[in-house]
Structure 1
Amino acid sequence: MENINLYLGELVGTAFFMVLGLGVCANISLKKSGMFGSGGIVAACGWGLSMVSIAVIFGPLTGAHVNPAVTIGFWAVGRFPTELVLGYIIAQFIGAFIGGLIIWQLFKDHLDEESDQNSQLGSFATIASNSNPWRNLLSEIMATFSLLFILFALGHQQPANGVAMFFVFAGVAGGVMSFGGLTGYAINPARDFMPRLVHAIVPIKNKGSSHFDYAWVPVCGPIIGAVLAALLYRGLF
């Protein structure tokens, strides 16, 4: 119980992150939204700014992992205690589910009036642009690897806070621009799986499949990428 504030911080931070980030996805995907069709640049900047906001708010308390891949990566690189790993990951998955529920309620009318089933699902979870699971897995591995390498470097060099936040933004936004067109840039098992579960269980008019047959890619890819980044970073530095 002594770590309850850390776990609650990760839970609330992840839920908050999902509301901000998935809100961007819903806004650009759903036809009834006033921001419909805003495109990839808005998605990249929206997710990047969302991550910076969460880092500023929750970073001093928990480190603002809000992502099981980040937690596993920092554990693998030797910068996070083993006894906190499971609690952080559970909190992140619960927070992502709560965030998905909030998005469903916020955009319920838009979702019910949306005729495109991919746009409905895309407001919650990632959708790959091609059907090759191994290329999609490689994309998620590389995307997460790149982000974690940046985060490891920031933790090692400890630049001024403003500089660090710029590179957090650049790492996320740049990743969306580089990999988003392939797989939607999940880089976060909780971010994809739990909102996908929300899509599956809540009532949405005319919704299609939640495509859990694809869900293993945005779960496994980020974890593999995080561990590989940790191994290489430890080997180099």
Structure 2
Amino acid sequence: MFMVEKFLAEMIGTMILILLGDGVVANVLLKKTKGNNSGLIVITTGWAFAVAIPVFIFASISGAQFNPAVTISLAVIGDMPWSEVPFYIIAQVIGAFLGAVLVFLTYYKHFEETEDKDSKLGIFCTMPAIRDYKWNFITEFIGTFILMFGIMGIGASKMAAGISPIAIGLLIWVIGLSLGGPTGYAINPARDFGPRLAHFLLPIKNKRDSDWAYSWIPIIAPILGGIVGTVLFTVIFK
């Protein structure tokens, strides 16, 4: 029964994360929205809150991971059982897909008003500003290394109750502001794959292809970067 609660917490939490995170991108990029062209600061701020809010809600139930890179990294250092990893990842991907569907429904008329096919895809998943797979991979690796190194440090710090989700939101915010320019800082395989699949399947007017040729980078690089960041922090400071 407890595993069901964890599954639902990870699924719903990731759904909320994507609804709010992809939602702020839609608000900025789609035509005739109240937030059209409001810029990168709005996007990165929205994403920071999009992560922090479900962490507040679900941390006590599932640990509020919402990210296969986090889940796998914690399993590598023995902080969670490998037997739970597949359930967490499945829940995260399903939640990310459902969150993307809700964004599409929320902004349905604005998708119809928008002609830019790249912008429509960019709402759902990441695309590099300059396509160079080697450097795109390195960027995502570094971003997720910092994410997991930071999460481990936050977890090891003595904080008043309720402060940790704020600290994690600030971590996401600064990663977006400082490292998000080259690739859009996926730093989360489920965040990229679930919505990319939604883009592929949804009846979005005048959409382009879903750029599956790039899709492996925001999956593999975050997992490897997360593992290295987690292991390095553990080796040095624990």
Q: Same fold (TM over 0.5)?
A: yes
Partner of 1:91 in structure 2?
A: 91
Q: Please state if 1:233 is matched with 2:229.
A: no
The code of the aligned residue for 1:40 comes to: L
Q: Which residue matches 2:126?
A: 126
Q: How far apart are 1:80 and its partner, in Å?
A: 1.4
CA RMSD of aligned residues (A): 1.2
Amino acid at match of 2:39: G
CA distance in 1, matches of 2:62, 2:158: 16
**Please, which runs of 5 or more residues in structure 2 have no aligned partner?**
none
Partner of 2:150: 150
The superposition leaves residues 109-164 of structure 1 with CA deviations (integer Å, 9 ceiling, x where unpaired) of 11122110111111111111001011011110100110111111122224223442
Q: Which runs of 5+ in 1 are unaligned?
A: none
Pairing 1:191–2:208 present: no
CA contact (8 A) 1:77 1:233 kept: no
| Residue 172 of structure 1 pairs with residue 172 of structure 2 | yes
Question: Quick check: 2:175–2:185 contact (8 Å CA) kept in 1?
Answer: yes
Whether the 8 Å CA contact 2:56–2:162 is kept in 1: the answer is: no
> Normalized against structure 2, the TM-score is what?
0.96
Output aligned runs, 1:58-97, within 5 Å.
58-97=58-97
Which amino acid in 1 is paired with 2:111? L
Tell me how far apart the structure 2 counterparts of residues 213 and 101 of structure 1 sit (CA, whole Å): 22
Once superposed, which parts of structure 1, at least 4 consecutive aligned residues long, lie more than 3 Å away? Answer: none
For 1:100 and 1:163, the matched residues in 2 are separated by: 28
Partner amino acid, structure 2, of 1:213 = A
TM-superposed deviation, 1:2: 4.4
Deviation per residue, 1:79-126 (Å, 9 max, x gap): 112221111011001111111111111111111221101111111111
Q: Distance in 2 between matches of 1:166 and 1:16?
A: 16
Tell me the number of residue pairs that the alignment of Structure 1 and Structure 2 aligns: 237
159-168 vs 69-78, which deviates more? 159-168
Q: How does 1:1-80 map to 2 (within 5 A)?
A: 1-80=1-80
Asked if the contact 1:23–1:103 (Cα under 8 Å) also holds between the matched residues in 2, the reply is yes
In structure 2, give the amino acid aligned to 1:113.
E
Does 1:206 pair with 2:206? yes
Contact 1:151 1:168 in 2 (8 A): yes
